[in-house]
Structure 1
Amino acid sequence: MRSPGSGDPSISLLFVDDEPALLEIGKAFFERSAGFRVDTQETAIDALRLLEMQSYDAIVSDYQMPDMDGIALLRALRERGDRTPFIIFTGKGREEVVIEAFEAGADFYIQKGGDPKSQFAGLERRVRKAVDLHRAERATRESEEKYRTLVDRASQMLFLHDQHGALIDVNQKAIESTGYSREELLSMNVADIDPDVDKRDDKQWIWQEAPVQKEERIFETRHRRKDGSIYPAEVHATRVTIAGEPCILALATDSTSRKQYEAALRESEEKFRGIADNTADTIWIADLNFKIQYISPSVLRMKGFTVEESLAQTIEEKLTPASYAALLDRFNEEMEREAAGTADPDRTVSFETEEYCRDGRTILVENSTRLLRDEEGKPVGILGVSRDITKRKEMERALKNQLDLIDGLFESLPLGVIIMDTDGTILRMNRGVEEITGYSAEEIPTVKDWFLRIYPDPVYRDEVIATWDSDKEEGVGSRECKVTCKDGTVRDIEFHAAFLADGRDIVTISDVTERRRAEEEKERNEYRFSLLANQARAYTWEVDAEGLFTSIGPESEAITGYMPDEIVGKLHFFDLHPEENREEFRRR
């Protein structure tokens, strides 16, 4: 719904009457007057529809109209909360109509008749008066709402009282902090809330006999809640005049948190001193010229210098030339960022230095620093924590050497190794995988890519995936599959998998193609030999060093009359020969 602009001196008017000629005359008269804008409607029903979409500064309506009269229109508007000034302009002058109109909420009642010019001039005066009064009431109401909103949303407690201490007004924060209702507080005196009011030397300033030379006072006191509990409060009291009467406006803050903070700060400072004096790291404070202002006693353990000796040293005496030059470059870079306003004021800057010890050796030191700032946020010093990392650096170098060795071994293994993550990502593959399959790590970034490239036949691929899932569930670690390499050749690959507890998998692959071919060739040769033996009515056998049969072909039954199981492990070779020849076989 469009409403008149705030502060707009013009008046928007809706004129409702079932006489078109009168509407035309009225519209022309008002719009010739300065500041009027007039819309017309011939029925109350049409006026209600228009007022659902648009608002006006005033409404002038006839009383007697078809379908709905002017008073019914007024009641309908008031029922839906529309407080627009409403003037009944009618030819009906009966007393009961006038009374009904004012009871319904009409602002004025004007009877038609007489000279049109005088009649509309009088109507114009009534419209202006009604609009001015409505605007003044609205402004007052808005001002009161703004005042109450500001007061009740204030983060401090507000107490307004006269010079006798009687409370005149309070805000929502005061209600919440004291536990009293607004009505209870407005029936109370400041002394009911402040148990120390009679003990303070500012009582005379607050009460009516106070001297006038001071207009405000800040003091600390205590407040008593409705439940009897006490909390500390900081009060800022100011002299004000309300409706010509001198009053005191007091803004109070529950200082419990501040008191607790101050106590915690003192405790924190004591702890800091204890930590700084006993920590293994060295804590120091320097000005922007790197002159040390404070350094913890741990410097003696770290570098062999006492606190006094360290405070007397210059930065050039502390650092090797290379570290000093690097430090200056880093410091200048940080100061440029400060000047440009692009740096985080709470940032931590870390760097390493090489520093001298009393015994002449140098150590590597890790420094974590922050800028100290004044109340305006300008850098005034540096807070640093330094730690000897010489041994750590030595261990890191040793670890790197070990990792390089392991990495070399990993890459030089005579088989392929694949490490798979829980999400199917291939974390690493060694050169052996590429040598066997022809695919590089970049070409096979995931297990899915592995299956798609290595097993191009979808049917065989599904079989392999199903077997892989089953093996993983059952913990089976070995399997042999036919793999299609990048060059299109198909090779026999032996897989050995280790399923780790964290969900990752390590798989080794070996090319067993040549071994399988040799085995197949051996099987073919054995088969051929067996065919030859059968055709020659011969049989094959093996004996141990003592001549005991360890194996014998099935053809032996037709020749010897013995079943193979009657011979193997039971008879010696010479047992199958005549007795006269056995002794000779034994000698042989």
Structure 2
Amino acid sequence: MNIQEDIEVLVVDDEPSFLKLTEVFLDQVDRWLEVDGVLSSYEALELFSDYDCLVSDYQMPGLDGIELLEKIRNEFESDIPFIMFTGKGREEIAMEALNIGADRYIQKGGDPKTQFHELAHSIVSTTKERRMEKKYKQEKRRAEKYFETAQVIMVVIDLDGEIIQANQKTCQLLGYTKEELVGKDWISNFVPERNRQQARETHQHFLKTGEKNFAEKSPVITRSGEERIISWHNSTIENEKNDVIASINSGIDVTEELSREKEIKEKTWMLEGMLNGIMDIVAFQLPDHTTIKINQKGLELIEDSYNEAVGEKCYKLVGKQEPCEECPAEKSIETKKREITEKYFPELDRHLEVITTPILNENNKVEFIIEHARDLSRIKELAKKHRLIKKSVEQATIEIYWITPHGEFRYTNKAVQNKLGYTKKELKGMYVWDVDPEYPKKRREYHYQKVKEKGSTTFETKHKTKNGEIYPVQVTSHYLEHEGQEFELAFAKDITEQKRKQKRQKFLHRLLRHDISNKCQIIQGYLDLIDKEKIPEKDREIIDKIKQSANEQNQIIEKVRTLRKIDKEKTKPIDINKTIEGTIKTNKPQAQKNNIEIKNQTPKQTKAIAGNLLKEVINNIITNAIKHAECSQIQIKTQETPNNIKITIEDDGKGIPEQRKQKIFKKGYKAGKNKGTGLGLHITKKIIKGYNGQIKVKNSPTGGAKFDIYLQKP
């Protein structure tokens, strides 16, 4: 209500002439006053609520002025401005009226003009005050209602930091009633400890500087201990002297909003990372081919920086001056659908599969295009190699099987089908034991675990064809993992011809060892029966040469037998000293005959990884020293190193010429007048190599030959 509006006044007085006079004077004194008069208090009770101010006489019939005031204030509970306008000498009435609730008391009498000017002034000032009070109360009620019903946190804090007032939203957020909150220190109770010092400093600075507004985001602690992030907007409250007396702090809970912002940032970061982590080329372009985004793989392909690529036409990025013929992006713009194109780009020397996806706006127009290009160059090359490998596998003459851990055939090549007589479809549901009569089902798990542990293994077995024919095979199996699955990759070779040759070779070796050896012994026996004393000297030399040749033939047979044993020999930890002692004992008679001393300095219980043929190795070296070294002593000693066992055999003889050292281990190499078969040291090296060891020769400090044998430790 505007305070310059007309003031409607009701005057009640039981004297008609005075009532009329009052109306006339008031109208003349103030043009804003609209005055009506009534002669009865009861009539005034019925009408006063429609007026802005009530002027009443005191002494009236029925209800006097005091009784009228009491009814208005108590029964009607009205705060209408009430002015008591009564006769002179009624001060006690004035006091009573003011105590009951009258706003003014004016005595009648005296100069009419002065009297009615005072009355008009009182009416105007009292009405204005009441209107101001009403307006203030309305605004206060409105503010209190907003304070209580506002959907934002509102809390009033005094200069000491204590809560003066808090609205319902604050109570809901913090989990306390208003009574529990009022009087509590805000910072000590509702600000996390880590933030309290800064919060106090910030609040005090805000109050001291007199800033009208202050904004920040900070956490509060709820009753349950949960932290919520509040976006605050703080203002100061001042008294009539403009002194700051408190702060009113309104805030919005932005915990979820910040969480969403963080989530969006994280997702954006993740999407950027994913985009750059994609191994294909991904680019975003406008309908006019302008590039607006491109990932790292795309930048690597075009050999450009991000800033240089963004804003450039896509076709220029690949070295063209005009859009590509049959441009997939233009096709997507035309169809408004995803398009897939595969083509060779000579400018990039790449085969690319390009997938273009148009993104439409609310008007169903293409806003931008996502271009996803996959480099097929390597795939094309791999596909070519795959076809070559597949063709090679299919056309291979050897049988090839992919077998599951349970023994089922997953793949077989044409050689398997041709050899076994089954179709590819028949083989698909078959198992190893269906084609291998020596491979029972219960053996599968043991065999597969062995292949898995070793990585690969080779063995001989037999295969059975569809018509019942059985043939020998050599199988080499490998353990493989492919796309998370385990397989046994087996290669089977028909060894029928090999077995036939081995059988014939075995027969010939047996013939060589048995029949020829027997014949040599017969020759030696008859030669021993000849009485040399009755034979001329010249013929004796011939007989000795015949005996020597027969002897050499026996030695060759023994060497061949040793060679055949090498591949079959199994290694294990053996007692080196025991082997050496046994060999010395065998050679001791011949050594004593030649005046040669053999010394063994090997510690007892010295063990190394070897086999029974180690005796043959030591025997060969000792025998050669006795026959060819022209020495007086042979010394054998063993030394343990961090990695192996070293056996040293050396003599003090004439040694081995430097030019012969690299030849003595070669098959068939002979030297000297007492030259042997040329197989001894060759066999020696093969035996040591079979033990995964080494043998070396050099000159001894004593002048003779020195052999160092290196064997693995157990």
Q: TM class, shorter-chain normalised?
A: 0.3 to 0.5
Greater radius of gyration (CA):
2
Normalising by structure 2, we get a TM-score of: 0.40
Normalising by structure 1, we get a TM-score of: 0.47
